[in-house]
Structure 1
């Protein structure tokens, strides 16, 4: 009787489909139930696709698979969808803030967008719009995936989206957020919760931006627009100064590592006889990392990088390419590189020392010299240290020989 009661839940051809599954499975009610659930799920999916195309055909034609922000619909509105599937969240397409009185857009204009992320947040977006509704920038954090999409939209057609970033995702449900987006002559620069995140090259004329809108699962949104002379305005780590006699390497766990990317400021000039010590651990699947000795910490205007150290890990053994270069007056100089056997190994601790002599930077790894770089600028102008890549950093200290 239980079998017939279960089969009677189906109607028409579905009765014979379930009966066929029941016979082929040797009388398994579990397989019948799984088949029925899959079939209803497929029907529900087709219902929404049909509903979406019928009600929003113009947007659907313009939509690409690369930017799904415009098709984030909640299916609890369907009269056939089960209540257990309803989502307690707002629509990701709902506009929660609009700024139309945008100051004349030119390089140096900074937008600071702040607010609160809903506990049920799936995604939200910040859009810089032109008069014809084209999007010069679509900034779209997606919390379940832990990445941020950047894209543009021209005449309803989405461009190629960008998702890669060296910065770990730092937006969380139920928390406050603060996002700074700076317009420069070549690109948008983005700072998320006090850390430079990435850049997006202009694909549309930024001077034609007239509206900023915020959509999705956020609230209490505020937008400030102001011209700035430098970017970003972030808190810096003061690099500790120690004497040679006091220098000790202490064991630390991975839980005590610095926030990456790391930006620290030197309180004393990096001159002859001083050494910068970096202690850390190589990640398990490393590609590369780099250390910049810079004149300041700004991304805009771009600081001069007097020494760029960039170890690139080989695929076999302990042989790695060590690249050295400098960025001066808006361009990279001649690159120097060498291929050496080093102690850089996946998952292993390392002690990196950059010593300043009277004419060069000398790089030591675990007390062994692995590279040298002749000065291309006065080392006294080094004020900031920037570290990024596939390592964890525990300590950054400046040792004086005196």
Structure 2
């Protein structure tokens, strides 16, 4: 109660909100502190956005479905800012690299674009162009907003922007970048700084791409073209295997959470008698998450997913939809779903156990059975655990009986 009293006195007008966070999280001081930090960051972002609008723009900034591609802003010495550092002036509309006469674009062609981001960078773009100046892909990182726009342009008209991604924004001023874009039959697959970022479905015939250009606040740009068989090439987390005698829940520290989305490799087959343990925390405003037991870690070609577990938090009153399925030979199989009262709660810790039996996977939440999924493929084919969604993951281990 003393902790709650301290928090209430320190947040001013947010008394009701912080009290609700405290109750939902089961009295977690860490979650309350995280809420306050997010609140402070949001306030700072709004302040700097307002300052930016006043100092940089003489007219209102129009943020719509059009892909904006202009910003002539640079830090300069001035009487009002004594001692400031003069940096390179740059323009987000300036073409800094062009690769022309791209031929024989087909599935499996990978482009690796590398370079350095200027200290004054507001945004830059990578464009895949057709002969008529249409853009099959417009990849547009916007550093002040910390998101990346994907779009296309057809006959001078911008399409619908896509900005969502499970991967945190990881492009920073003054640092190098490496972006891999793979052409597949259905979509572009995009990897940012060594991690799969997202996909963009083809809206124009990719075989008509004839040029690539890089525009904006970057330098030292280089592009490599190569045909590959698998995407992406990443370093996997090795999932520890421990014996049943040594397994214990132990303490969980917020500072030890895994980078999400999480991809882990099983050193030993996940077979009868073994348990996969996932420990973590549900985010404060969750929508869903999923755990895949799959044949490999690649996004392309799409791996077989022997078991897809997908809890969804749209319901009210503690009931959640638990979906189960498999992806075999290029398509989803029959979905199984149930709506259960579970211990999944915003802000709360959880212990998820997937037990492999001789006929099925059994799913336990905090030692309570919540779902079962009968094998559709041999469980020995599972090599990779992939986790994505509105959770923090602290620990992933494989427990065996010996």
Q: Secondary structure at the match of 1:245?
A: coil
Greater Cα offset, 63-72 or 330-339 = 63-72
Residue 164 (structure 1) shift: 1.2
Q: Secondary structure at the match of 1:71?
A: coil
Q: Distance in 1 between matches of 2:179 and 2:315?
A: 37
Q: 2:58 aligns with which of 25, 45, 51?
A: 45
Greater Cα offset, 68-77 or 94-103 = 68-77
Task: Provide the residue aligned with 1:70 in structure 2.
Answer: 69
Residue 133 (structure 1) shift: 1.3
Tell whether the 8 Å contact from 1:64 to 1:157 is kept in structure 2 after alignment. no
Residue 171 (structure 1) shift: 1.0
Tell whether the 8 Å contact from 2:73 to 2:120 is kept in structure 1 after alignment. no
Within the alignment, does 1:205 sit opposite 2:217 as a pair?
Answer: no
TM-score normalised over the length of structure 1: 0.81
Q: Distance in 1 between matches of 2:75 and 2:246?
A: 65
Residue 101 (structure 1) shift: 3.8
Q: CA RMSD in A?
A: 2.5
Tell whether the 8 Å contact from 2:189 to 2:198 is kept in structure 1 after alignment. yes
Cα distance per residue 1:243-270 (max 9 Å; x no partner) = 1111122323222100000000111111
Map residues 22-37 of structure 1 onto 2, 5 A cutoff.
none
Structure 1 residue runs without a partner (length 5+): 1-40, 50-62
Tell whether the 8 Å contact from 2:315 to 2:321 is kept in structure 1 after alignment. no
Within the alignment, does 1:267 sit opposite 2:267 as a pair?
Answer: yes
Q: Distance in 2 between matches of 1:338 and 1:371?
A: 8
Map residues 321-400 of structure 1 onto 2, 5 A cutoff.
321-400=321-400
Tell whether the 8 Å contact from 2:104 to 2:207 is kept in structure 1 after alignment. yes
Q: Distance in 2 between matches of 1:197 and 1:317?
A: 34
Task: Provide the residue aligned with 2:317 in structure 1.
Answer: 317
Q: Distance in 2 between matches of 1:70 and 1:147?
A: 14
Q: Secondary structure at the match of 2:69?
A: helix
Q: Distance in 2 between matches of 1:225 and 1:328?
A: 31
Q: Secondary structure at the match of 2:207?
A: helix
Greater Cα offset, 275-284 or 172-181 = 172-181
Cα distance per residue 1:109-166 (max 9 Å; x no partner) = 0001111111111111000011121111000000111110001111221111111112
Q: Distance in 1 between matches of 2:63 and 2:205?
A: 22
- Equivalenced residues, count: 345
Greater Cα offset, 372-381 or 97-106 = 97-106
Q: Distance in 2 between matches of 1:175 and 1:251?
A: 36
Cα distance per residue 1:306-329 (max 9 Å; x no partner) = 000000114422211111000111
Q: Distance in 2 between matches of 1:271 and 1:214?
A: 48
Q: Distance in 2 between matches of 1:116 and 1:300?
A: 28
Task: Provide the residue aligned with 1:168 in structure 2.
Answer: 168
Who wins on radius of gyration, i.e. which is larger?
1
